[in-house]
Amino acid sequence: MNTAIAVCTCVLMGYLIGSINLSYLISKSKGYDIREHGSGNAGASNLIITMGKKIGAFVAVVDVMKAFLVVRLAMYIYPEMKYAGVIAATSVILGHIFPFYMGFRGGKGLATLGGSILALDYRLFLILLLFALFIAFVTDYICFAPITCSVLFPVIYGVAKKDVWYAAILFIATVCIIYRHIGNLKRIKTGKELRFSFLWNRKAEAERLGIEDDDGVSYPWQYDEEQQKHNTH
């Protein structure tokens, strides 16, 4: 086995499959860019905001499965390369966050993180899923789930494997996931972040944020500062 070729294959395969952003493609088929509506994020959570729970849940499952399949495929193709799974996992998350054809402005990586964890260790996936739900319900902000899980997973997985390189490779994705959630943390500070309870209490959240509860409405916090800067150039 040529290790360099194997690594490049895992990276390229993970990135290209990860960059298939169904939320963006569905919105474009409807004649608009999802990044210009709702929370400004090209992910399943924003699809729930702008198009409804059913389509959002469907896309979330697709995002989970694309990560799961690409990680398992890498492990199947290169069973003798012990880092194949984590390299593919990191690459599929980066592809989802930074798709080349979207100006490197994609989703935030929660679903692909989940799919990667599921592929690498289903027991750890179940534990972190329960933990993520607990964090979301306690804080009432979904963004704390990917931030905390993206930090915990590499540490726990690296310790379980007794190999620091597993953690080091996965931490590349951790840094990118945290980076993509800086805008969420800023909005929490100013009281403009959408709460997790929006899923079952949409009207109250719309009133709290001073918006109308209509489909396709542009929210006042739809862009992060970095996105605004990008759009002005």
DSSP 218: P
CB 128 within 8 A of CB 149: yes
Q: Taking the CA of residue 97 as centre, how many other CA atoms within 13 Å lie in the half-sphere pointing to its CB? A: 23
Q: What is the pLDDT of residues 201-230, one digit of tens each?
A: 777 776 776 665 544 444 433 434 344 444
Q: List the one residue out of 67, 30, 59 whose CA is nearest residue 216.
A: 30
- CA–CA gap between residue 130 and residue 136 (Å, rounded): 10
Rg (CA), the chain: 18
Backbone dihedral angles phi then psi of residue 213, each to the nearest 5 degrees: -85, 65
Mean pLDDT value across the chain: 87
pLDDT band at residue 123, thresholds of 50, 70 and 90? very high
pLDDT band at residue 178, thresholds of 50, 70 and 90? very high
Q: Who wins on pLDDT, 37 or 73?
A: 73
Asked whether the CA dihedral 55, 56, 59, 60 is positive or negative, the reply is: negative
CB 93 within 8 A of CB 113: yes
Q: Which amino acid is at 170?
A: L
Q: What is the pLDDT of residues 42-62, one digit of tens each?
A: 888 888 777 888 888 999 999
- CA–CA gap between residue 18 and residue 88 (Å, rounded): 10
CB 190 within 8 A of CB 112: no
Q: Taking the CA of residue 232 as centre, how many other CA atoms within 13 Å lie in the half-sphere pointing to its CB? A: 7
pTM equals 0.86
The pLDDT value given to residue 231: 43
The pLDDT value given to residue 211: 60
DSSP 195: P
Q: Which residue has the tokens 């199947």?
A: 76
Q: Who wins on pLDDT, 13 or 233?
A: 13
- CA–CA gap between residue 224 and residue 208 (Å, rounded): 19
